[in-house]
Structure 1
Amino acid sequence: MSRTAHFAATAAVLATASTLLTVAPASAATTCNSPVFKRQFFANTTFSGTPKKTDCDSAIDQSWTGAPVSGLPSNNFGVRWSVTRDFGSGGPFALAASGLDGIRVYVDGVRKIDLWKNTSTTVSKSVNLTIPSGKHTLRVDYVNWTGSAKVKFAYTPRTSATVDKVKPLVPTGTSVAYDSATGKAKLSWAKNKEMDLAGYKVYRRLKGTAFGGSPLATTTATSYTDIPPATGATYYYEVRAYDKAGNVSTGTADQPVGTPDRTAPDAPTGLYAKVGPGAVTLAWDTNGVTDTYRVYRATAPQGPFTRIADGLDSAWYRDTGADLTGRLYYRVTAVDPVGNESAPSVVADTGEPDTTPPAQVTDVTVEGTTAGNAVRWQTSSDDRHVNHYEVWAAPEGASDPDGPETVFGLSFNDQRAAAGVPLTYRVQAVDDYGNLAPVSAPVTATRPAPGAVAVPTGVEGTPLDSATELTWVSVPDATGYRVYRRTDRNAAWTRLGDRPTTALRYSDSEAPGVSAYYYVAALDAEGRESAPSESVQVWRETPATPTAPVAPTITLSAPYKECTTNDCAPHGGTGVPLTVTLKHDRLLSGYTYRFYGPSNSGYLTTDGSTITWTPSGPGLYTFEVRAIDYYGRSGPFTSVRFMVG
C-alpha cells in the first residue's frame, strides 16, 4: 500500500472516533498540535542520540523499503511517535498495533503492547484498557532490524453500551445571548474532548420548574438557537453531552434568559370602598405578580374616571381628597414591571352619603387615680357606623386647650391630668362620614396627689394557666397594695380585686389571653395610693382558667380498633404502624403519654396532636395520655385498650 493510501485509511478510522487528524508538514519542527503525532527517526534501534529527522504524522500506518529518510540506514533504524492529548472523561479504549519488525506501545510511560523481535512476518496485537479522564501521553516505538519495514497503530474508544459506562464531562464555556428584537436566544459552549462523543442535548425550563425528561433539541454543533415564549418569564437552559454508548453528562450551570413581557396582568379583584372621617379607604386583593397599582375616581358609575394615584406597591389606598358629600366611584388597575396596565377592576362605590350623626354617648363615668383620670362610657346606641370617639377634657368653665383625644375603644386614661385640678370630660361619637354626635353629659374628676409612701418597685408578671402571677418588692410603711390592669396603652386602668392586698403578690385569675399591662400602687396609713409603679407587660397565649384541662379524645388509625366490653378482637400486627389522633378544645403545650402491654414505651411527651407508634409484638396494649396546659398544668389521664394481632 502506498503512503498516501495508508494515510487515507488511517484518517478514515480516526474520523469515526470523532477526531479527524490533520497532517503537519514534515519539517524540522519538534512541536506538533495534538492529536497529531510527533515522529522522530533514529539511525539505531536504541533511540539514542539526536534524531536524524523530526516531523509531524497524523496516522501511524507506513511501510518502507530501504531507508525511510535521508541519513538513515535501510536496516537497524528506529522510529518513535508520541502525542499528548486530552481524553475528556476517558473510558474504555482499544489499542491495535502491528509491525514488521518490532513495535512497543506505551501509555503515560507504561508499556501496554510489546512485539519486540526480528521477524520475517507481520506481527500484531490488540489490547483493551481504560484510560482515565484528562490528558495522557501515547508513545509508539518501532524498530526495523532487517528487511522490509511496516508499522501500523490505532487507538479507538469502545462504544458498546455494555462496555462503556463512563459519561462525558460537563460541557464548558456555556453562555447565552438573547436578542430582544428577534426573540432569539443563542446558546453556545466549548467542544468536548471525548473521542466517542455523539452530540449534545439542550434543555429548557421555566423559572421555578424542573427540567423535563426529554431535551428541547439534540445537536452535534456547539451552539443552538431557540425562541422562548415572550411572556416576561425567565427561562433557563442547560447542555448535556452524550456519547455513542448512550452515557449522558451532568448538565451545565443553568443559563438564564429573561423574555420581554408584552402581556398585561389580570385585573385586580375584591375592590371595596369604605368611608371614614375625612377620607375613603380602598382595598383590593393582590394578584401576587404585579409591582404597582393605579387608582381612578369618578362621580358617576360610567365615568369619566380620573387617575388619582399611581405607583402604589400595596393593595390599599386612602383617598384624603374625596368629597364625602357626594357618591363616589372607584376602580383600580394593575401595572407590571414593564408598564403593561391591566383592564380596570369592577367599580366600587361609597354609596349615598350619610348626613345623620350618631346618637349621643351615655353613661360616661370618670374616676381619678394617681395614674390619671379613668374615663369610661357605653357604646353609642347607634354604633353601626361609629368610627371613633373624641374625648374632651377642660377645667371647669374652660375649653379643652389642645383639642380632643381620638379613642377607638370605650375608655381613656388621661395621664396628663394635673393632680389636684378638677377636670370636666365630655365624649362625642364620630361616624365614618365625619358626622359628630351630640356631646355627652359632662362628668368631673380630680386626679389625687400620691400618698406618703414610696412607689413599688420590682414588679414582675408571670403567666400561669390559672392566673397571671404578679410580684413586687415591699414598700416601707405601706399598709397595703392595689393592682391595676389594662389591655390597651391608652385605655383606662381597671382596679383588680375588691380590697387591697397586704401580700407582695397578686393572682389575676381573670387575666385575658392577650397582652396586658399592670401596675401596682402602695397605700399609706390614710389609705391614699402612691404614684403608680412602672408598668409591666405580660403576654398570654391563653386566658387564665380555674381548672386543669380535661382528658383529650382519642382516635386510633385503621386497622386498629379500641377494645369494648364485648369486642377486643386483634387488628393490625407486628410492624404495622398505629397513628393516634388527639383532640382538645384548648390551646395546649402538648401531651404526656405511654404505650404499655407486652412492651412498655415509658412516659413520653409531644407537642403535636398525632402520635405514630409501631408494636414490636402481638398482645393487649393500653395507650394512656393526659393533656398539658399551655403553661404546664396537667390534666387527668385517660386511656384506651387495643389488641394487636
Structure 2
Amino acid sequence: MNPARHSTAVAVVLSVAGSLLAGATGSASAATSCASPVYKRQFFANTALSGTAKKTDCDNAIDQTWTGAPASGLPKDNFGVRWSVTRDFGSGGPFALAASGLDGIRVYVDGARKVDLWKNTSKTVSKTANVTIPKGKHTLRIDYANWTGAAKVKFTYTPRTSATVDKVDPLTPTGAAVSASSTTGKAKLTWSKNKEMDLAGYRVYRRLKGTSFGTKPLATTTSTTYTDTPPATGDTYYYEVRAYDRAGNESTGTADKPVTTVDAAPARVTGVVGGHSGFTGVTTLTWHPSPETDVKGYQVYRDVDGTWTLVSGTSPLTTASYTSAYLAAGDTRDYYVVAVDKAGHTSARSATVTPLVVQAPIGLAGSGSYSGVSLSWASTGAAGTTYNVYRVSIEYYGSVSWPWEKIGSTTETSFADLTGTAGLTYIYAVTASDTHGNESDNDDYTFATRTKPTTPVEG
C-alpha cells in the first residue's frame, strides 16, 4: 500500500485558534494550519467524511493516486479525503474549476457546490465548471471518496484569461511609496504585490507637474519596485502604478507620488562641428540639440589671442547653430559650446573644434564664346574636394564690396557657365571646400565675356 504523499506538504503547528479553517474536526485537525495557497488535507475512515479525521497534513497540489490505504489507520477501500484552502483572489474574475476522480469528487466555493461527481465508478470521471469568483478572500473545498479499487483524484483552479471572457480589471496596487536621493538623483518606487492569479505585471507612469499622464507607460515590470532617474531640472514629477492582467485589463492608478528633482547643470553639448569659408570670411558651427526640457539655449566661446571669449552674444542662442562675423581666411580659431538652463546653470564645455583652412585652387582661367564661358583651374590635390564657382558683373570692378553670386559646384577642375548674358563681361572666382564644410579663400579671379552671336549681313 502507498502512504499519503508528503513530498510537498509541511504541517505547521500554530496555537492561534482563529487561523483554523472551517470544517476542521478533532484536536489533531485543529492543531494543523497550512499557509495559503497550500491546502489543508484531512483523511477519514469513511466516505461520508464524518467524525474525527485520522490524519491531517498540508498538500501543495491535488493530484494523487493510491492503490491501497493512503494513510496509517485507514482502510484501503471506503475512505474519504478533504482538501480546503482560503485565499485572496484579488479582483476575482472568471475561473475554470477542473476536477477528475476515481471514484467520487465534489468541489465547493464558499460552501456552494460547483462540481458533483459523487458515485462509485470503474473509470475516471471528470468535469470542468466555469465560475466567476468575486474579489477578496474565498474558500475552496474538495471532497473525495474512494469506495473500492484504485483511488485517483485531481483538481486545479485556473483563471480564464481570454480577453473575450475576462472583463475584470485588477485591483489598484496598494502601499505605493516613493523615495528620492539628492545624491544620485534617482527616485525609487515600491508597492505591494497584487493578489490576482492572472496578474501579468505593472505599468509605471510619470508626468511633469501641470501635465497629464500619457498613454505610454514609463516602464513595465513584474517586480514591485522600480527605480527612475527623472530629469534633474528642479521640477516636480508625479508617479503612479497600475496593474494589468493577462487579458489586457488595467487597474486604475495609485495615488500620485511626487518627487522634486535637484536642478543640476545641463549635460555636455555633443556633436559640435565647424566650417570656415575663407571666401566669405564666415565660420559656422552646428551641434546636437539638448534633449533636456529646461535648456534655455547655448553659448559659443572662441579663443581670441589666448583668451576664451563669449562671441555668441549675452542672450543664449535658441538654435543649435552659430555663424560668426567676418574672419579673414587665415584667422580661424578654436571654439567650444555650452548649454544654459532656465536657472542659469551652464554645462561642461563641449569638445573643442577648430575649423580647418582649405587650400584654394590656383591657375584660374576663362574664355568666352557665344554659347557661354569655359573656366578651368588646377586641382588642390585633396581627396573629396568640391569646387564652388562664383561670379559678379564687371560693373562692380573697383567697388568696395562685390556681390558674389554662387552659380554652381563641381568635383572637376573645369566648369561651363551657360547662364550669363551675351555681350556682358563677368568676374569669376573659384573656391575649394572639404567634406566638413570648410571653404577656402579665392586665390585669384579672372574676366571672361559671353560673346554675342554674329549676325550675317545680307548682300
CA apart distance, 1:341: 6.7
Alpha-carbon separation, structure 2, partners of 1:262 and 1:188: 25
Partner of 1:24: 10
Contact 1:7 1:61 (8 Å CA) reproduced: no
CA apart distance, 1:47: 1.4
Partner of 2:245: 243
Provide the TM-score with structure 1 as the length reference.
0.38
| 3-state secondary structure, aligned to 1:251 | coil
| 3-state secondary structure, aligned to 1:237 | strand
Q: Amino acid of the residue matched to residue 233 of structure 2?
A: T
| Sequence identity (%) | 75
Partner of 2:227: 225
CA apart distance, 1:203: 0.3
Structure with more relative contact order (C-alpha pairs < 8 Å, separation 6 or more): 2
Note if 1:133 corresponds to 2:131.
no
Report 1:56-67 matches (<5 A): 56-67=58-69
CA apart distance, 1:141: 0.3
Alpha-carbon separation, structure 1, partners of 2:111 and 2:249: 29
Provide the TM-score with structure 2 as the length reference.
0.53
Report 1:490-639 matches (<5 A): none
Note if 1:109 corresponds to 2:95.
no
Report 1:202-217 matches (<5 A): 202-217=204-219
Match of 1:262 among 249, 261, 264: 264
Which segments of 5 or more consecutive residues in structure 1 lack a partner in the other structure?
Answer: 9-21, 265-288, 290-335, 344-645
Report 1:400-411 matches (<5 A): none
Change (3 A) 1:106 1:192: same
Q: Amino acid of the residue matched to residue 219 of structure 1?
A: T
**How many aligned positions are there?**
256
Which segments of 5 or more consecutive residues in structure 2 lack a partner in the other structure?
Answer: 14-27, 267-293, 295-340, 347-459
Change (3 A) 1:205 1:89: same
Alpha-carbon separation, structure 2, partners of 1:115 and 1:40: 19
Match of 1:55 among 57, 66, 84: 57
Alpha-carbon separation, structure 2, partners of 1:34 and 1:93: 18
Report 1:310-329 matches (<5 A): none
Partner of 1:123: 125
Alpha-carbon separation, structure 2, partners of 1:234 and 1:163: 41
Partner of 2:96: 94
Alpha-carbon separation, structure 1, partners of 2:89 and 2:345: 57
Partner of 1:493: none
Alpha-carbon separation, structure 2, partners of 1:139 and 1:39: 10
CA apart distance, 1:66: 1.1
Report 1:280-319 matches (<5 A): none
Query: What is the root-mean-square deviation of aligned Cα atoms in Å?
Result: 2.6
Contact 1:76 1:144 (8 Å CA) reproduced: yes
Alpha-carbon separation, structure 2, partners of 1:7 and 1:252: 42
Partner of 1:71: 73
What is the CA deviation profile of residues 248-306 of structure 1, one whole-angstrom value per residue up to 9, with x for unaligned ones? 00000011111012369xxxxxxxxxxxxxxxxxxxxxxxx9xxxxxxxxxxxxxxxxx
CA apart distance, 1:48: 1.3
Partner of 1:173: 175
CA apart distance, 1:30: 1.5
CA apart distance, 1:129: 1.0
Alpha-carbon separation, structure 2, partners of 1:86 and 1:228: 36
Match of 1:46 among 48, 59, 62: 48
Contact 1:7 1:59 (8 Å CA) reproduced: no
CA apart distance, 1:7: 9.9
CA apart distance, 1:24: 2.5
CA apart distance, 1:190: 0.5
Alpha-carbon separation, structure 1, partners of 2:149 and 2:225: 53
**Of the two, which has the highest radius of gyration?**
1
Contact 2:203 2:219 (8 Å CA) reproduced: yes
Report 1:444-523 matches (<5 A): none
| 3-state secondary structure, aligned to 1:67 | coil
Contact 2:100 2:155 (8 Å CA) reproduced: yes
Contact 2:11 2:34 (8 Å CA) reproduced: no
